[in-house]
Every structure is written in structure tokens, then in C-alpha cells.
Structure 1
Amino acid sequence: MTHSAPPELLTFGEAMTMFVAECHGELSTIERFTRRIAGADNNVAIGLARLGFKVGWLSRVGEDVFGTFIRRTLEAEGVDCRHLGVDPEHPTGLLFKERAQEGTDPNVTYFRRGSAASHLSPDDAEAVDIAALRHLHATGIPPALSESARALSFRFFERARAAGASISFDPNLRPRLWGSDKEMRETLNRLAVGADWVLPGLAEGRLLTEREHPEAIADFYLSRGVSAVIIKLGPEGSYYRGILSGQEESFIVAGCPVDRVIDTVGAGDGFAVGVISALLDGQDPRKALWRGNLIGAQAVQVIGDMEGLPTCERLTVLEGILPDIS
């Protein structure tokens, strides 16, 4: 395809083809599945693209039908895939997900070891026009995939920082991909302190900082140079602590009520979409957290990871009919 101007926003990581069970039960008993796309980083890319941002996605997929499916899905969502490479030697990652019981996290089985995306390296960052970049969004998943993908994460932070782009970081912990909690904690905290906005869940913040309360978790990162820490509190909403007009401010924004929780996977990605989009739109942090809570609440009401992410038009409707509880 012919490429236009380079994207202003960039995410990177591993997109996988996901097969979701069509009925409840253990995966070993399921005969029918629905094919979808999965991956925290690309969920955010899709969500921001739906809201009108020019978003690029950097990754690798295998030279297989699953890689083709991922590219076509992302491009159909308006995501710029000029930096999505095809690896003829390694496969696209796959996952199989149980149909979640309401309000619970579903069991997931991964087939991602040795995937194409795990072979990402710092060389992949060199083709990106960083000078055109306004914002980089990163998660803790790529550095968990391999040493080379970890090096890519640090290289992106260095290049984005040097170019003056803002950086958001969602730890998105995957402990099973790490050799130890200590290694995970040290690596992800090194990345986090290079970001402007850090977006952990409360449990993630506790594990990474070994501190209990949101205020103390925020202090851990603010004292190391981060501009704002935004902590997801689940149904209770979200917590903000950061610098506003030269002064530190902190507050909690209550969550958006949800009548029925279908699948909690993707809620954090929806929250990131809301916060990042609002801050890049010039909204104040309180409004950004409210939008994050709002979009996160939409994500838990559908089966797929990104199907609940709204378009601009849908967001306008939601923001018009739901009370601003910030």
C-alpha cells in the first residue's frame, strides 16, 4: 500500500490471532471458536485510531495466514502498518481463550514462544521517523518477550525522548513471561521512569514499587522524574497524582457504573485509550481520567478485547448522555 505522512502516535509490541470459545467450558472440551485479534499494544493503537488519531503500529508477524489476518484487521481499523514486518522464519503468536463467566477473568492458553514478534530488536526502531512522532505509547509486554525486544523498548524510549515526544507507559504485567519478579520489577521500573505518564493497575503498582497505597506508589515514580502517575482502581475508578501548572495535585475519579460485566480483558487498554486521547486533546487530567473510566467501562461489556472501544461519534454520544462524575 502507498504510505502517506508518517504517523504522529506509535505503539509497538506483539499482536496475536485469538480464538475465543463460543460457549462456556474448559478449552479441552470446546469445538467451536471465533477468530479475533489480541494484544494490549495494538488494542490501544486501534482505540486511538478510532478516535481519529494517526497511529502507527510496529511489530513482526509470521509469513502465514494469521499474520495476514492481523495486518488486514489493523489496516481496516485505520492503523498505519508500514512498520509491521513479515518474518519468514518464525510464526505469528496464537492464543485460545475460554468464554468468560460474567465478572471473571477467562483462562487463556498461549502459543507464542519463539514467535515473530519475540524477534523484534533495536534495529526495528531505526526505520521509524521519530522526528514526526508526537507521542509514544509502550507497555511492559515487549520487554518480557526476549532480550532483543527488551532492547527495542529502551531504544524507543531513548529516541522518543531525544525527539521531544511524550511517552506513556502501561506496565501490563505478564509475570509468567519473566524469569523472576525481581527481574520484571527492575526492568519495568527502568522503563517507567523514562516515561511522562505511568498507568499501572493498583496490584501492578504494589508489585513494582513494593508500596501499598496509591499515594506511595505515585511518590515512587514522581520522585524519579515522572510527570504523572495514573492508577487504575477497577470499578472504584482511578487515581491521579502529578504536576499541574507547576503544583502537585492528586485526586480520585469515580468509576462509571456497569450493569453487566461480560469480559474484563481489555479494560485497562480502554482506560489507556481514554486517558491518552484526552491528554493529547489538551483536556485536563480530571477529564482524562473520567474518559479513561468511561472507555474502560465500555470494554468490559463485550466478549472481545477491543470490540468495545468507541469511535469518535460513539464517544461523543457517551460523553453527552453519561454524567460527568469527575
Structure 2
Amino acid sequence: MTKLDVVTFGEAMAMFIANEVGSLHNVQQYTRSLAGAETNTAIGFSRLGLQAGWVSKVGDDAFGKYIAQALQKECVNIEQVLVDSRFPTGFQLKSKVTAGDPEVQYFRKGSAANYLSVDDFNEEYFLSARHLHMSGIPLAISAHTREFAKHALRFMKKAGKTVSFDPNLRPSLWNSKEEMIQVTNEIAFQSDYVLPGIAEGRILTGHEKPEDIAAFYLEQGVKLVVIKLGEKGAFYQTAQKKGMVAGYKVEHVIDTVGAGDGFAVGVISALLEGLSEEESVVRGNAIGALAVQSAGDSDGYPNRERLEGFINQILTGVR
């Protein structure tokens, strides 16, 4: 079995991006792409040269085959992507915008990924990875995936692996705000690295300031908290130190979706390579800035050469 640097799991969907600006019901033509927070991160890790594995279920249909082919093309390991002919692969529609966040409509209820369960957990596969990266989305989409997520976290922690967690809050997928906060924090408290956006941190902790949000998680045993602050950059804190890392100036933002996943790729890949917390956040900011300059969720994620070239712009004062 392939040795992995990072393993992740979740739902992937075929995504249809509008070719014209306007309401989705008026759009005549779309361009197909790939969507899914965890596939975004797997692709991002792979482009940087890390061995990344993604675990899920897809339907025995055209969308499922497309997802598998797209990930294979990106050199993501999909040995544990199971095909379930009983249920379909989900898809989504995404609007084209000239500014701000796009409109997204999901068609994912009852998809094959909803039925990823603890019975599907392959211990050998997960043990082959150094690190587990988790998103909060599997906690929300079904009881099956929630139990899978909890099991994966317990298993990897017991095996001495590191775990990162991006809350990736999707309130519309939860029964209530209270349930969302309780379950998400339960997972966050057990993780080594927690990476919320500032708005997510405020919802989850009730605190306003990045320092207070970070302290909330550090007091529960989290080793590193990194709080995304959009174009301002990011704040990080451990038990020993804290700091603010400025973001990169982007002249023209095309699409913000996928920027947070790209940020996670930057931070986690750097930590796995032994870089400092500050250097890791610099990389996260860089990939996030590159991500917002393209329409697809992961289209802007760089390879190693492009990433290093972009970060080196700081030396010329472009940042």
C-alpha cells in the first residue's frame, strides 16, 4: 500500500460553473469542474509534491467516474474511494460573479457519500498516512459520515498521528446552530491544529478577538490555532507564541471559494515539512491569495515552483 503524507475524507461533487453572470436559472451554459473541501485539500497537497489520499463513496455514474478521473489526474490516491451503485454522486451549480461570493445550489441529499460509514474504515490505509486533515462538512452531511469522522479522529490520535481541523461551517446542513457548535467544537478540541475563519471562530467560541478565540481552543489542549482574517492575513497562536502574518495584495478577486482550503494546504504542508508556525502561515496566505484569482475551487492552487515564486515577491515589496 502507498505510504501517504496526508489522508482526508469527505464528499466530492461535480460542479457546474456558469459561463455568464446572472441568476442560475437564467444561465444557458456551464463549465464542469470538481468541488469538495476535502478534494480541494488533497489536490493542493498533491500539487506540492506530497502523497495525499482521499477517502469517500461515489455513485456508479458519470459524475462518480469524472471525480475519480479528475483526482487520478492530480495524482491523488483514491484506493479507498468506494463505488456504491445504490446512490448517486452529488453535484452543484455555481454562479459567475464579478465581485463577492458566488451563489451555489447543492444537489447532494441522499448521495453516495452520505453513506460512508465506520464499516468502510480501512485501518491499514489510514495508518499509512503521517497526518489526518479533517473538515467539519462530514460532521454535518449525515449520521454515517459523522461517526466515520469521529472514528477516524480517535483512531489517528491513538496511533500517534497529527490531526488538523478546518471547521468549514455549513449552517444549512445542520439541524440547529447549537448542534453545529457542540459537535464542531468536540472535534476541534481533540485536534492538534485548528484553522477557523474569524467569523467561524466567533460563532464557535462566542469571542470576538482572534487572541480570545485562539485561547479558547488552546485551553482545551489544541497545539496551534490559526485564524483566517481574509485579505488582512492570519493570526496564529500556540502555548508559547503568537503572531500576525499579513496577507498578499490581490488586485482582482475572481472567486473566493476554495481559498480557505488552499490556506489549510499551505499551513499543514509547511508544518509537515518542519517549517515554523509563521512560515507555515505565510505559505497559507500565499496559496489563499492564488486561489481567489481563478474560478474553479482548486484551479489556482500552485505547484512548488509557482508557490515559491509567488512568496518570493515579498522580497520585492509586492506584498
TM-score range, shorter chain: over 0.9
The reply to whether residue 282 of structure 1 matches residue 274 of structure 2 is yes
Q: CA deviation at 1:128?
A: 4.1
The reply to whether residue 161 of structure 1 matches residue 157 of structure 2 is yes
Is the alpha carbon distance of 1:142 and 1:256 closer, same or farther for their aligned partners in structure 2, counting shifts above 3 Å?
A: same
Pairs within 5 Å for 1:93-242: 93-102=90-99, 104-242=100-238
CA RMSD of aligned residues (A): 1.3
| Aligned-partner Cα distance in 1 for 2:30–2:226 | 36
Q: CA deviation at 1:212?
A: 1.1
The reply to whether residue 7 of structure 1 matches residue 27 of structure 2 is no
CA contact (8 A) 1:228 1:242 kept: yes
Is the alpha carbon distance of 1:178 and 1:324 closer, same or farther for their aligned partners in structure 2, counting shifts above 3 Å?
A: farther
CA contact (8 A) 1:83 1:128 kept: no
Q: Which moved more, 1:280-289 or 1:125-134?
A: 125-134
CA contact (8 A) 1:7 1:55 kept: yes
SS in 2 for 1:323: helix
CA contact (8 A) 1:98 1:108 kept: yes
Pairs within 5 Å for 1:246-261: 248-261=240-253
Q: CA deviation at 1:133?
A: 1.9
| Aligned-partner Cα distance in 1 for 2:208–2:288 | 24
* 1:197-232 Cα shifts (integer Å, max 9, x gaps): 000000000001111111111111100000010000
Q: Kindly provide the amino acid, as one letter, of the partner of residue 275 in structure 2.
A: Q
The match for 2:63 among 66, 77, 96 is 66
SS in 1 for 2:98: coil
Q: CA deviation at 1:106?
A: 0.4
* 1:178-199 Cα shifts (integer Å, max 9, x gaps): 0000000000000001110000
Which sections of structure 1, spanning at least 5 residues, go unmatched? none
Per the alignment, residue 46 of structure 1 pairs with 43
Is the alpha carbon distance of 1:126 and 1:28 closer, same or farther for their aligned partners in structure 2, counting shifts above 3 Å?
A: same
Q: CA deviation at 1:81?
A: 0.2
Q: Kindly provide the amino acid, as one letter, of the partner of residue 299 in structure 1.
A: A
The reply to whether residue 291 of structure 1 matches residue 283 of structure 2 is yes
SS in 2 for 1:68: helix
CA contact (8 A) 2:43 2:71 kept: yes
Is the alpha carbon distance of 1:147 and 1:51 closer, same or farther for their aligned partners in structure 2, counting shifts above 3 Å?
A: same
Q: Kindly provide the amino acid, as one letter, of the partner of residue 216 in structure 2.
A: F
The match for 2:305 among 282, 294, 313 is 313
| Aligned-partner Cα distance in 2 for 1:176–1:128 | 34
| Aligned-partner Cα distance in 2 for 1:284–1:69 | 38
Which sections of structure 2, spanning at least 5 residues, go unmatched? none
Q: Kindly provide the amino acid, as one letter, of the partner of residue 129 in structure 1.
A: Y
| Aligned-partner Cα distance in 1 for 2:75–2:149 | 24
- The total of aligned residue pairs comes to 318
CA contact (8 A) 1:290 1:324 kept: no
* 1:236-294 Cα shifts (integer Å, max 9, x gaps): 00000113xxxx21110001000100001111011001101111111001011111001
Q: CA deviation at 1:318?
A: 1.7
Task: Give the 4+ runs in structure 1 shifted more than 3 A.
Answer: 321-326
Identity fraction in percent: 47
Per the alignment, residue 17 of structure 1 pairs with 14
SS in 1 for 2:87: coil
SS in 2 for 1:218: helix
The match for 1:78 among 70, 75, 80 is 75
CA contact (8 A) 1:50 1:310 kept: yes
Per the alignment, residue 260 of structure 2 pairs with 268
Is the alpha carbon distance of 1:250 and 1:140 closer, same or farther for their aligned partners in structure 2, counting shifts above 3 Å?
A: same
Q: CA deviation at 1:320?
A: 2.8
Is the alpha carbon distance of 1:8 and 1:49 closer, same or farther for their aligned partners in structure 2, counting shifts above 3 Å?
A: same
SS in 2 for 1:34: strand
Q: Kindly provide the amino acid, as one letter, of the partner of residue 298 in structure 2.
A: M
Q: Kindly provide the amino acid, as one letter, of the partner of residue 254 in structure 1.
A: A
Q: Kindly provide the amino acid, as one letter, of the partner of residue 41 in structure 1.
A: E
Q: Kindly provide the amino acid, as one letter, of the partner of residue 208 in structure 1.
A: L
SS in 2 for 1:56: strand
Q: Kindly provide the amino acid, as one letter, of the partner of residue 46 in structure 1.
A: I
| Aligned-partner Cα distance in 2 for 1:89–1:43 | 26
